Structure 1
Amino acid sequence: MKQEDVVAHVTTPLVNPAFAPMVPRFTDREYFNIVYRTDPEALRAVVPEPLEIEEPLVRFEVMKMGDVSGYGPYTESGQAIPVTFDGERGEYLHAMYLDNFPATASGREVSAYPKTIGAPNLYVDNGALVGTLDYGTLRVATATMGYKHFALDPAEAKAQITVPTFMLKIIPGYDGAPRVMELVRTEITDVVVKAAWTGPARLQLFEHVLAPLADLPVREIVSASHILTDLTLAPVTPVHDYLKGAQR
């Protein structure tokens, strides 16, 4: 394979890339969100500077991807933390667990999503919307919400899922020291909110050393939403370089 052919690729293996070289479009992406209050000390221990915390809130999410170009259907779950950066409100993506390897590899390599393999699920059971996350054979999260109890304003639903998101991009060098260590920003674009609901909700988090969602314990449920959308993820932009200083 000639050098010019090698540099045309974006990932390995060269003859069987881990993911397709494309920007995926998400059709019928279904969100189950629970915003809850947690311990301020627990948040300060995991949110990196220069991000700032205004309230001790966490958003637990389960997302069922009905159809994704390049990846096919899959489900994802994780935690996002409301933060501010340089006066802008957004969310810091703390942890994400997926059941699809190409989406996991692409999210980590092309962008900076903190993705790892897990077993999330989203379904309806006896009048309740249920979101679960298993790590290996063990349950680490169970969320329930009254199924379609109350309509949610589409504008409010769109505002919930289109806030800017911040992530850490860390790539080690061959000597083990960081080669890239950046705070990056992205957002959701081309959003179509097809339907949205709210209702009463509950969330249980279970201790696991390799899936430590419970390190941000549930103290109070603040809100819940169930949203059906089509959308596209924008490319990431570096906003702070930990190795060279801030940039904008």
Structure 2
Amino acid sequence: MKKSDVLKQMSTPLGAPAFPVGPYYFRNREYLNILYRTDLEALRRVVPEPLEIDEPLVKFEIMYMPDVTGLGAYTESGQVIPVSFNGEKGEYLHAMYVDNHPAIASGREISAYPKKLGSPRLYIDSDTLVGTLDYGSLRVATATMGYKHQPLDPEKARQEIMQPTFMLKIVPNYDGNPKVCRLVRAQIKDLTIHGAWTAPARLQLFAHALAPMADLPVLEVVSASHIVTDLALSMPEIVYDYLAESSD
């Protein structure tokens, strides 16, 4: 294989890359989102500067994606923290657990999504929308929400999904020091809302050393949403370089 051919590759191994070239389009992507109040000091321990915390809030989310071009079908769960950066309100992606290797590899390598392997599920149990997350054989989270009790304003749903998101891109060098350490920003711009609802919701988090969601405890459920969409992800942009700042 010529050097020019190597440079065209998106991922290894060269003969069978971990994921195909995008863009990736999501059809009927289904969200269960629960916004809850948590401990402010716990948030301060995990949100990196220069992001700022406005309120002690966390969004727990589970997303079922049955039709993703190039990646197939998978489910994802995580915690998202409302923050501000240079006066712009957005969300910091704190942790994501995914059951699909191409989605994990592409999310980490192409972008900066903090993905690791987990076993999330989103399903209907009688009159209840249920989201669960297992790490290995152990339960980490259980979320429940009434199924389609009340319509949610589509514009509010759109604003919720299209919030700017901030992520850490960290790539180590061979000496153990960071080669890349950046804060990046992304925002969904291509979005179609098929339906949106709200209802009473509850969330339980269980302590786990390697999936420490419970380190951001649930003190009060503020709101919940169930949203079905089509969308495409946008490429991130660098907004802060930790290595450049540390060399000044």
Per the TM superposition, whether the score is higher than 0.5 is yes
For 1:196, give the aligned amino acid. A
1:190-235 CA-partner distances (Å, limit 9, x unpaired): 1000000000000000000000000000000000000000001100
1:151-180 CA-partner distances (Å, limit 9, x unpaired): 001000011110000000000001110000
Q: Secondary structure at the match of 2:243?
A: coil
2:160 is matched with which residue? 160
1:3-35 CA-partner distances (Å, limit 9, x unpaired): 111111011000110000111000000000000
1:11-160 superposed matches below 5 A: 11-160=11-160
Q: Secondary structure at the match of 1:245?
A: helix
1:189 is matched with which residue? 189
1:50-86 CA-partner distances (Å, limit 9, x unpaired): 0000000000000000200001111000000000000
Q: Give me the whole-angstrom Cα distance separating, in 1, the residues matched to 2:58 and 2:116.
A: 19
For 1:192, give the aligned amino acid. T
For 2:49, give the aligned amino acid. E
How high is the TM-score relative to the length of structure 2? Answer: 0.98
2:205 is matched with which residue? 205
Runs (4 or more) in structure 1 with deviation over 4 Å come to none
Q: Give me the whole-angstrom Cα distance separating, in 2, the residues matched to 1:129 and 1:10.
A: 37
Following superposition, the deviation at residue 37 of structure 1 comes to: 0.1
Q: Give me the whole-angstrom Cα distance separating, in 1, the residues matched to 2:223 and 2:161.
A: 14
Q: Give me the whole-angstrom Cα distance separating, in 2, the residues matched to 1:189 and 1:13.
A: 32
Q: Secondary structure at the match of 2:54?
A: coil
Q: Give me the whole-angstrom Cα distance separating, in 1, the residues matched to 2:96 and 2:128.
A: 23
**Residues paired across the two proteins, number:** 246
For 1:117, give the aligned amino acid. L
Structure 1 gaps of 5+ residues are: none
Q: Give me the whole-angstrom Cα distance separating, in 1, the residues matched to 2:208 and 2:152.
A: 34
Q: Give me the whole-angstrom Cα distance separating, in 2, the residues matched to 1:127 and 1:38.
A: 28
Q: Give me the whole-angstrom Cα distance separating, in 2, the residues matched to 1:148 and 1:32.
A: 11
1:241 is matched with which residue? 241
1:174 is matched with which residue? 174
Q: Secondary structure at the match of 1:62?
A: strand
1:216 is matched with which residue? 216
Following superposition, the deviation at residue 245 of structure 1 comes to: 1.9
For 2:226, give the aligned amino acid. H
Q: Give me the whole-angstrom Cα distance separating, in 1, the residues matched to 2:4 and 2:72.
A: 30
Q: Give me the whole-angstrom Cα distance separating, in 1, the residues matched to 2:16 and 2:226.
A: 37
